[in-house]
């Protein structure tokens, strides 16, 4: 297992011109949540060109399916990404989870339109899901840890709205 390096992962995605929006725990951290995370979750555009660029970025990150037996055949290409929607990978930049259609929100395009560009390293700005969308996704997931995070994110949203 490699250490979590979301900046390296994001730089690689940007280098390959992948269209994505950061969601999940890392997005929550960027908005100010104190909750820790050990993976980078992204929602990605599912058009053929983007799937090809995403496959190339994943190859550069030496992505392998997380939790799958080593002998399970897996071809990392646009066709395979098209056939699935959610993927969990181990990479040289740590865990990277891909969600083509996260629960609780509409299309990738709507998620992107509502996102905010945030600089996470010098010269590296990435689209981050809005607090409203993060709250909707966490509610839809419905796990106890997600429902706790809904409370944290809602408090952050209230604070932002009051300013």
- Which tens digits make up the pLDDT trace of 95-145? 999 999 999 998 899 999 999 999 999 999 999 999 999 999 999 999 999
CA-based torsion, 24, 2, 92, 122: positive or negative: positive
Mean pLDDT of the chain: 95
Q: Taking 90 as the threshold, does the pLDDT of residue 69 lie above it?
A: no
pTM: 0.95
Whether the CB-CB separation of 141 and 105 falls below 8 Å is answered with no
Q: What is the pLDDT of residue 71?
A: 84
Domains contained in the chain, CATH given: 6-155 (3.30.460.40)
Which ranges in the chain belong to alpha helices (H)? 6-15, 24-31, 48-60, 78-83, 108-114, 131-141, 144-162
Whether the CB-CB separation of 115 and 127 falls below 8 Å is answered with yes
Q: What is the pLDDT of residue 163?
A: 84
Average pLDDT over residues 22-27: 96
Q: What is the pLDDT of residue 12?
A: 98
């Amino acid at each position: 297992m490699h250490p979590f390096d979301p900046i390296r992962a994001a730089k690689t995605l940007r280098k390959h011109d992948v269209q994505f929006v950061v969601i999940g725990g890392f997005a929550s951290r960027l908005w100010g949540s104190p909750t820790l995370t050990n993976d980078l979750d992204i929602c990605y555009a599912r058009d053929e060109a983007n799937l090809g660029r995403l496959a190339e970025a994943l190859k550069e990150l030496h992505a392998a399916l997380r939790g799958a037996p080593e002998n399970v055949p897996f071809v990392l290409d646009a066709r395979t990404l098209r056939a699935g929607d959610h993927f969990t990978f181990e990479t040289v930049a740590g865990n990277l989870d891909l969600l083509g259609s996260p629960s609780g929100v509409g299309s990738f395009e709507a998620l992107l339109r509502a996102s905010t560009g945030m600089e996470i390293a010098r010269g590296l700005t990435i689209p981050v899901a809005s607090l409203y969308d993060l709250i909707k996704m966490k509610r839809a997931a419905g796990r106890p840890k997600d429902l706790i995070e809904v409370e944290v994110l809602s408090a952050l949203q209230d604070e932002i709205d009051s300013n």
